[in-house]
Structure 1
Amino acid sequence: MPLSFKLLKLTTNIYQVVTEIIKNIESAFLALRGNEDDFPIGKNYINTYEDLKLKFDTQVHPEIKTKILEIEEDGYYNDHGVDHIKMVILRATWLLNALEITFDKNSDGYYISPFELFILLMAIQLHDAGHLIASREEHAAKGKELLAKFDSGKVLSAAERKHIGDIAKAHGGKKDPIGKLPIEENLSHQKIRPQLLASILRLADELAEDKTRASNFLLDIGKIKETSIIFHLYSASLESIVLSGGELKLDFYIHDEVLLKKYSIKDKDDKYLIDEIYDRTFKTFTESLYCSRFLPEKARINCVKVSIHILKSDDDDELKNISYELKETGYPYVSNKNIYDLCESLKDDQSNIDGEYIKNFIENNLNHESI
């Protein structure tokens, strides 16, 4: 269902209601130029966003990418540059698309104020910036500190920087960071909903993970740090992400040769790529459940469906397909469960279809007809 909103345009002093199709919330925000009365009085927030975005694109995001390359030895680092920001914006568009958002309080749909959209877009720009001054574990908490230094000209008010920083900070952490935010807050004489905006950002960031985020060329030439290979392989194998009707569909395509070995991970046991996919899709499921607490029903993800297509390396024929669904069953408590508890399809009699199982399967079928 296409995302639409009501845009008020001034023509010879008469407001007309125009319906437009939105493919990107950033483009939709910029299209509000000329409707500054919808924002807090006294500031052109569209110009402000464009000016700050330009600084982020030229001074912050490229530096984050450079910084990530410097600390790649720790592992688990992929693209955090401009392209990642664009992907998070697109995924946020998906979530808002499900709500059929509107910028007109009097029209059908879920109302999002232009000012709230400004706050969300600024938080998206900021959310990974803490990597410049902090470790991976601490980067979410450091974004606010960096924004205060970055906005040296005080283009934003202290209150605006605080709430943008708090929403960006909530994209990480397991101690209920979104729940600690207020449901509503008054800012610059307008109402914003920090929990809603933070849940959209956090879930959009979780879904901004596919083949475009992997360093595919460096993978091909073997120039990625050993402890980072498995994480780039995960991204490279994620071919498609589709969100529809409360269901998230993930399709992975993987050549059999990369499933035959375990990969090193810093300070952890070596791991098969299949097991990493299980763990990451389980994390996506739990993140979806968590963020859905703060989202309207239409935007909630209740089920994650995964298909893993294992292809023969010599001719791309499908050797095996592993499919499973992650959804709540019974009493809603998953923290003491693993993916095998939730997905019977990942069991073969008494054996789990894990990385070791798949390795043995491939080795036993190297000269077997494709299925």
Structure 2
Amino acid sequence: MWNKHPIEDDLRLALNKQFGEEIGGSHFNKYIVARDYLVNNVYDEIKAKEPSLSDHGPNHIYDVLKNAKDLLSGDITKLSGMDLYCLCMMILFHDVGNIFGRKEHNTQITEIYNKVRNKDPRFNQERRVVIKGAEAHCGRTNTGSRDTLACVEETESIDGAKINLREMAAILRFADELAEGPQRTSNYMLESGRYEESSRIFHKYASITNVFIDKGNSRIVLYYYIDINKDDLQNPKDISDLIHFIFERINKLDEERRYNKYYTPLLNDFKKTEVTLNFSYDGMPVEGLDSIKCTLNDLYPIPGSNQKSGEEILNSICSELEIDKLIQKIKDHEAV
């Protein structure tokens, strides 16, 4: 089941504006055909192949479309119909390779694309462009660099219409990075220990994370809600591991914010990442730990090039986030 996303209305209008209703409608129908095939035949099957993977089904695709629209906001009208078509198509296809397994899933799109388009030679150029941009949402280049967007052509075309491919690939990549939260996991599966041990930390992270794209105030906002109980304090390693993981994910997300906007001015408004961590004990706020805030501002590294850990970076700007101090404050709270 698919509920139409507002960005799809933007796509239809933009295509009609660029090409007229007849040709624009034809392009829009091609998008709908691809979307419906993937919704009905592919997305839900990813869970069967990778049952411990965080959600990569229709809800995830819908979430990435939402993030793309929120990142663009009013600037969406600056995109041509074919730019927006390419962006939406890349979002549809970016994770389909997971049906063959998580490893290098970004390079496993072609077989699914060929199924969708029946290997029709009319789609050869579209296939090359969409796959090239979608592949760059993660992974490494042939030389081992994480700077995958550098390998995407700045401009391309589909049916003779120009596409700012590298910019659209950057929007996809950041929209996907921001697609995190409780909607990507199952609380029942997590609490009953039904996820593989190696995947549990990713699901735990999803369960405590909320993301707010606030273009009007030039920021990405991350909220974390970490509830501690008595058993956790008896074995604080799990708390420590989760906080370490949060630090690394904050670092990665902020790195992606700076990296992706290097490749498109459409993301220039996002000048900072603001973080709020909220600690509670058995559902009740812990005084002094119920709203820890910090802000990460602009630099422009290539992902993976920063040698500092997420914990080191966060501690350097907010000493309250030192793990030993956090755990001791929670223990002091319990003792009161």
Tell me the TM-score normalised to structure 2 length. Answer: 0.85
Structure whose residues are more often strand by fraction: 1
Q: 1:117 aligned to 2:84?
A: yes
Q: Alignment partner of 1:101: what SS? A: helix
The aligned residue for residue 322 of structure 1 is 292
Task: Report matched runs for 1:1-371 at 5 Å.
Answer: 24-31=6-13, 37-38=19-20, 44-69=26-51, 72=52, 77-97=53-73, 100-102=75-77, 110=78, 112-133=79-100, 135-152=101-118, 154=120, 157-174=123-140, 175=145, 176-244=147-215, 245-257=217-229, 260=233, 261-263=236-238, 272-296=241-265, 299-316=268-285, 320=289, 321-328=291-298, 335-339=306-310, 340-341=312-313, 343-347=315-319, 353-354=322-323, 356-368=324-336
Amino acid in the other structure paired with 2:150:
G
Q: Alignment partner of 1:147: what SS? A: helix
For residue 216 of structure 1, report the CA deviation from its aligned partner. Answer: 1.8
Amino acid in the other structure paired with 1:152:
N
Question: What CA distance in whole angstroms lies between the structure 2 residues aligned with 1:101 and 1:42?
Answer: 17
Question: What CA distance in whole angstroms lies between the structure 1 residues aligned with 2:284 and 2:25?
Answer: 59
Aligned residues: 319
Deviations 1:21-55 (A, max 9, x none): xx831232245686683489598111111111111
For residue 341 of structure 1, report the CA deviation from its aligned partner. Answer: 3.9
CA 68–30 in structure 1, closer or farther in 2 if over 3 Å, else same:
farther
Amino acid in the other structure paired with 1:94:
D
Question: What CA distance in whole angstroms lies between the structure 2 residues aligned with 1:337 and 1:33?
Answer: 45
Q: Assess if the C-alpha contact under 8 Å between 2:72 and 2:267 holds in 1.
A: no
Deviations 1:85-133 (A, max 9, x none): 0000000001111x5232xxxxxxx2x1112211111110100001112
Q: Assess if the C-alpha contact under 8 Å between 2:281 and 2:330 holds in 1.
A: no
Question: What CA distance in whole angstroms lies between the structure 2 residues aligned with 1:116 and 1:314?
Answer: 46
Q: CA RMSD in A?
A: 2.9
Q: Alignment partner of 2:42: what SS? A: helix
CA 34–307 in structure 1, closer or farther in 2 if over 3 Å, else same:
closer
Question: What CA distance in whole angstroms lies between the structure 2 residues aligned with 1:42 and 1:247?
Answer: 34
Amino acid in the other structure paired with 2:54:
N
Deviations 1:209-229 (A, max 9, x none): 112112122223332222222
Q: Alignment partner of 1:252: what SS? A: strand
Deviations 1:147-205 (A, max 9, x none): 12442152851010010001110101242111111111233111101101100000000
CA 259–144 in structure 1, closer or farther in 2 if over 3 Å, else same:
farther
Amino acid in the other structure paired with 1:95:
L
Q: Assess if the C-alpha contact under 8 Å between 2:16 and 2:24 holds in 1.
A: no
Unaligned runs of 5+ in 2: none
Question: What CA distance in whole angstroms lies between the structure 2 residues aligned with 1:50 and 1:42?
Answer: 13
Question: What CA distance in whole angstroms lies between the structure 2 residues aligned with 1:364 and 1:197?
Answer: 50
Unaligned runs of 5+ in 1: 1-22, 103-109, 264-269
The aligned residue for residue 105 of structure 1 is none
Amino acid in the other structure paired with 1:247:
R
Question: What CA distance in whole angstroms lies between the structure 1 residues aligned with 2:151 and 2:22?
Answer: 26
Higher CA-based Rg: 1
Question: What CA distance in whole angstroms lies between the structure 2 residues aligned with 1:150 and 1:210?
Answer: 30
